[in-house]
């Protein structure tokens, strides 16, 4: 039985991690920290976990973390790069759910996040944790950078095309929509019910922090430069990512067969039958990504629809998937929950 801990367990990804780990047969949840909730019982903060999680929130840097085999950081951007190195230097393994170790270039980090990176040594050692594309490297990693929610849906959607070289990598468009929980558990005017309900809007069209992560990942897949337009949108729902992806065809092939073959052995990626339109509710509260491929009017543009739950496959579920790989557990262990419908 492996011991695991969570740093920063009071946000949406933190409580989702708690929900998944409390049901995991191969690990013992042995430590959780929170600066704001230190001394309070987890079940008092999250009554949904009563009878399942018998822990008290400890202060950051709790000694119990040093006894863990693996520690998750479910903290705001900029925290893990300051606190994780102490655990890493002590031999602990870490999965960071924030963006601290996702970008390989420290200058790119500073450009998009507005602050210098304080752990460039570990930035160079971090492994990008998208299992379907990077499983072998994750297996031996000490530090895994868990991908963002938009980057997960977009990269899984484009990957078969870029690996096969059948579309123009310099003309890619990602039109993606997210539920409000993607903004985090915070009280801000723009995310109040009366502001988001019955409303739909684009944001970050001139530049979003997930853009460099997506571009970096797609370039690695393509083996060269990519041209990407990425526009995120906020939708009046709690969970879900729906990415509509566009690519110009340059080589004729059976695109449905290409996707089916590419993901044939991937438990968490479901290529739906030709003509399907996946919906976010088809993956709600699950670790699955569902994909459909379309070629409108038989033209030269391919449309790929990719849906995930932003809190599970886009965050906590993928983090547990990475943990399973790192610890030598069955990759699907603790993650086989069916999506919730309705």
All residues at 6 or more sequence positions from 300 whose CB lies less than 8 Å from its CB, including other chains = 248, 249
Angstrom distances, CA of residue 58 to CA of 10, 285, 298: 12, 27, 58
Give residue 157's region: left, alpha or beta (phi > 0; psi -120 to 50).
alpha
Integer Cα distance of 71 and 335 in angstroms: 18
For the sheet with 93-96, list strands across it.
27-33, 2-7, 70-73, 93-96, 143-145, 127-128
**Catalytic residue selected from 68, 149, 289, 336:** 149
Active site residue 336: no
What's phi and psi for 289, nearest 5 deg?
A: -115, 130
All residues at 6 or more sequence positions from 298 whose CB lies less than 8 Å from its CB, including other chains = none
What's phi and psi for 6, nearest 5 deg?
A: -130, 130
Integer Cα distance of 3 and 70 in angstroms: 7
Nearest to 146 by CA among 88, 195, 97: 97
Question: Which residues belong to the active site?
Answer: 149
């Amino acid at each position: 039985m492996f011991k695991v801990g969570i740093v920063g367990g009071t946000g949406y990804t933190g409580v989702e991690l708690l929900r998944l780990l409390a049901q995991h047969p191969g690990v013992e949840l042995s430590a959780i920290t929170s600066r704001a909730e230190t001394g309070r019982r987890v079940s008092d903060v999250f009554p949904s976990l009563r009878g399942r999680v018998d822990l008290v929130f400890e202060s950051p840097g709790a000694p119990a973390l040093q006894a863990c085999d693996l520690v998750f950081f479910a903290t705001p951007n900029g925290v893990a790069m300051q606190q994780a190195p102490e655990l890493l230097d002590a031999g602990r393994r870490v999965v960071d759910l924030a963006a601290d170790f996702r970008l390989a270039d420290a200058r790119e980090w500073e450009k998009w996040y507005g602050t210098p990176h304080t752990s460039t040594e570990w930035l160079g050692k971090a492994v990008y944790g998208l299992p379907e594309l990077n499983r072998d490297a994750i297996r031996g990693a000490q530090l895994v950078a868990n991908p963002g929610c938009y980057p997960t849906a977009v990269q899984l959607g484009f990957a078969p095309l870029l690996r096969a070289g059948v579309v123009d990598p310099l003309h890619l468009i990602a039109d993606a929509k997210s539920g409000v929980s993607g903004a985090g558990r915070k009280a801000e005017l723009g995310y109040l019910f009366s502001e988001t309900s019955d409303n739909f809007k684009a944001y970050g069209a001139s530049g979003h922090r997930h853009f460099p992560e997506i571009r970096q990942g797609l370039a690695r897949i393509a083996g060269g430069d990519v041209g990407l337009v990425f526009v995120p949108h906020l939708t009046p729902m709690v969970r879900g990512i729906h990415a509509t992806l566009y690519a110009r065809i340059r080589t004729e092939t059976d695109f449905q067969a290409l996707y089916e073959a590419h993901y044939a052995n991937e438990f968490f990626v479901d290529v739906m039958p030709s003509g399907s339109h996946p919906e976010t509710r088809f993956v709600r509260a699950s670790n699955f990504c569902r994909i459909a491929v379309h070629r409108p009017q038989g033209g030269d543009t391919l449309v790929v629809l990719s849906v995930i739950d932003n809190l599970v496959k886009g965050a906590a579920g993928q983090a547990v998937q990475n943990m399973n790989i790192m610890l030598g557990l069955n990759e699907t262990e603790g993650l086989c929950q069916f999506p919730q419908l309705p």
